[in-house]
Amino acid sequence: MSRVAAVNERYRATTVVARDGVSLFIVADSNGTALNDAIRAVVREASEDGSELWENVVGAAKSLRWRLAFRPQPLALNPSIETAASAVLAQAEAIRPALGSSGVALVDALSTAARNVAATDPPVGKYLLDTILETGPTDCLVVTDGTLSRVEVGSWLGPLGFRVLSPGMLADAEIIADVTYVVGPPRLMRTSLVTAPPTPEVSFFIPSWFTDRGLPTTAIADYAQGAIRPRVRVFEIGVIQSDAGAGVAEPEPIEDFAPPPVWGPQRSATRDPGVDEVVARKVLLSGGYAIWMDDGDRIRTLDPSQPAGERVTYTDVTAVEPGTYLLLRLGVTERTVLYDATLQSMGARRAIVESSQDRWKRALLDRLRSTGRSHVESSLRRLGVRAAEQVEAWTEPTLARPQLDSDFKLLLQWLDISESPAFSHATEFRRARFRAASRMREQLEDAMASADMEALRAEGHVKIDGAGFADIIATRVLAISPLTNVIARHDAREPFRDGGGRWLE
C-alpha cells in the first residue's frame, strides 16, 4: 500500500470511530479492587495526617496499581508487578513501628492486597489474549501506554506474531490493521487514540476497579466546533462487584491516580538569593538522580529520535518538561568542564587571560557584596547597561563577559578598570570557549552514536562509557517541583542521588 493510500485509510478510520464509537471491555478484578480500596483508604489517612510519613507507602502502592492497569501479561512475564508489590511490602513495614492501631490496620490491608495481586495473573490479560487470538495477528494492533510497557507486553505477545506498539509509534501512517486493542483506561491514554485512531475499530481493556469510563479529550474540545466525541459501548466481563464500574464509587481524580513524586521537605523561596546563590527548582531524573535547575538560558539535552550525529543539542530551560532527556556529567557541572577545557586550549595565554578575567570579576563581586545586588543593578542601568539584571551571572568564572560590547565597556568603566586589555582578554576567552564547546559537542555526539537509544527509551537513562565519558549520563526528566528554593550557585545543575522519582520510573 502506498503512503497516500495509508493516509486515506487513517482518515477513514477517524470517520468510522467518530460515527460508531469505541468499546470498553471492563474486566472483573477482585484482587485489583481490594488493592484500589486499600490505596484510597491510605491516601485518606495520609491526607488527614498531613505528615511525610506516608509518602513512600503511597508512592509504592500507586506504582503497583499503575502497573496493574497497564501490564496485564502473566506474572511469569511480568517482573514489574512482583517488584512493585515487594516495594509496597517494604515501605509498609518501614513505617509500621510509627503507626497507631488504625494505621497498622491500613498497612495490613494494603500489604495483603499487594501479596494477592502478586500471586495471581492479572485477569485482564486472559481476556485480552482470547480476544486477539480470535482476531488474528495480521488484523489487529495492541497499544500500551509507553515504551517500557510495550517491551514487557511485547515479550508476551510478540512471539505469537502480534504487533505491540506504544502511542508514539502510531504516527507511522503505514501501520495498517482492522482493530486496535488498547491496554489501559482511555482517560490515561493519548487523546489521539480516539480523535485520530489508527484503525476503524478501537477497544480498551480496563480492570473493573478503574471506575472512570470517560474518554480522553483535548483542552479545546469544549470550545471547538465539530470536536470528535465518540460514543462509548461498555461490555462487562466476569462477575463485577456491585460498587465497581457501576458508578456507585466516586472515581478518583485522574491527576491523583499516577504515582506521585516524593519531594521531601521543601519550602518555596521567601527571600531574594544572595550573591553566590540562585533560585532553582528540583528536577527528579530517571536512574535515581535529581538536579537543581536554575533559570539560566539553556541546558544540554538529548533527542534519541534523531540520527547519530544530530542528537545532542541545547534546550531553553523554560521548555524542559517531564519526558525531556538531559545530558549531564556526574560529579561536576557542564559549565565547569567547559571552563577547564577552554583554559587548557589557550596554552601559554591561559595565565594572562585568567588573571585578567579574575580581576574584573572579583571587583564586581566586591561591589555586589558591599552594596547589594539591587543597588549595583540600578547603578548599571542608570549608566546605560542594558542587561544589568545579569550582573550576578557575570561574576561566574565560566561566563566570559556580558554579551553586548557596550554593556561590557560600561561595566569596566563603572568598576574603574581599564578597557584595555580587559576587553580583548575577555573576548579572547569567549572565542576560545566557543571553540571548546564545539569540540565537546562533537565528542558527545561521537559518544552518543554508540549508545543504546532503545535502552534509553525503555529504562529512562543510560551511562556513556569509554572515550573519557564514563561520567556522562543521559536521563529522562520525571518531574519538576512546583516550588522554588534558594541554593548555592555552584550546586545548580550538578546531578546528585535522590530517590524521590523512584515511583515514577
Reported confidence tier of residue 246, pLDDT bands at 50, 70, 90: very low
> Nearest to residue 40, comparing CAs of 19, 27, 14, 58?
58
Residue 299 CB: number of other CB atoms within 10 A?
21
CA distance 438 to 341: 11
Reported confidence tier of residue 9, pLDDT bands at 50, 70, 90: confident
Confidence check: pLDDT of 4 > 70? no
Minimum mean pLDDT range among 226-240, 246-260, 490-504: 246-260
Q: Taking a C-beta distance cutoff of 8 angstroms, is the pair 151, 192 a contact?
A: no
Reported confidence tier of residue 5, pLDDT bands at 50, 70, 90: low
> Three-class SS of residue 444?
helix
Minimum mean pLDDT range among 22-26, 275-279, 319-323, 400-404: 275-279
353-408 pLDDT tens trace? 999 999 999 999 999 999 999 999 999 999 999 999 999 989 999 899 999 999 99
Give the predicted TM-score (pTM) of the model: 0.81
- How much is the pLDDT for 465? 66
- How much is the pLDDT for 222? 52
The tally of CA atoms less than 13 A away on the side-chain side of residue 303 is 11
- How much is the pLDDT for 305? 87
- How much is the pLDDT for 353? 97
27-84 pLDDT tens trace? 999 999 999 999 999 999 999 988 889 999 999 999 999 999 999 999 999 999 999 9
Reported confidence tier of residue 333, pLDDT bands at 50, 70, 90: confident
Give mean pLDDT, residues 421-431.
97
137-170 pLDDT tens trace? 999 999 999 888 999 999 999 999 999 999 888 8
449-480 pLDDT tens trace? 888 888 898 889 998 864 455 578 999 999 99
- How much is the pLDDT for 435? 95
Higher pLDDT pick, 195 / 326? 326
Reported confidence tier of residue 178, pLDDT bands at 50, 70, 90: very high
Is there a cis peptide before residue 185, judged by omega within 30 degrees of 0?
no
Average pLDDT over the chain, rounded to whole?
89
Higher pLDDT pick, 11 / 247? 11
Higher pLDDT pick, 137 / 278? 137
Q: Taking a C-beta distance cutoff of 8 angstroms, is the pair 351, 498 a contact?
A: no
Whole-number percent of the chain with pLDDT over 70: 92
- How much is the pLDDT for 227? 55
Reported confidence tier of residue 269, pLDDT bands at 50, 70, 90: confident
Q: Taking a C-beta distance cutoff of 8 angstroms, is the pair 202, 14 a contact?
A: no
SS (H, E, C) 131-178: HHHHHCHHHEEEECCCHHHHHHHHHHHHHHCCEEECHHHHHCCCCCCC
Give mean pLDDT, residues 100-107.
95
Higher pLDDT pick, 271 / 301? 301
Q: What are phi and psi of 251, to 5 degrees?
A: -60, 140
Q: 191-196 contacts: CB < 8 A, separation 24 or more?
A: 191/216, 191/217, 191/218, 192/167, 193/143, 193/167, 194/17, 194/22, 194/228, 194/230, 195/14, 195/228, 196/10, 196/14
Confidence check: pLDDT of 134 > 90? yes
Confidence check: pLDDT of 7 > 80? no
- How much is the pLDDT for 275? 84
Reported confidence tier of residue 250, pLDDT bands at 50, 70, 90: low
- How much is the pLDDT for 173? 56
Reported confidence tier of residue 440, pLDDT bands at 50, 70, 90: confident
- How much is the pLDDT for 266? 67
- How much is the pLDDT for 339? 92
Whole-number percent of the chain with pLDDT over 90: 64
Reported confidence tier of residue 247, pLDDT bands at 50, 70, 90: very low
CA distance 196 to 10: 8
- How much is the pLDDT for 330? 87
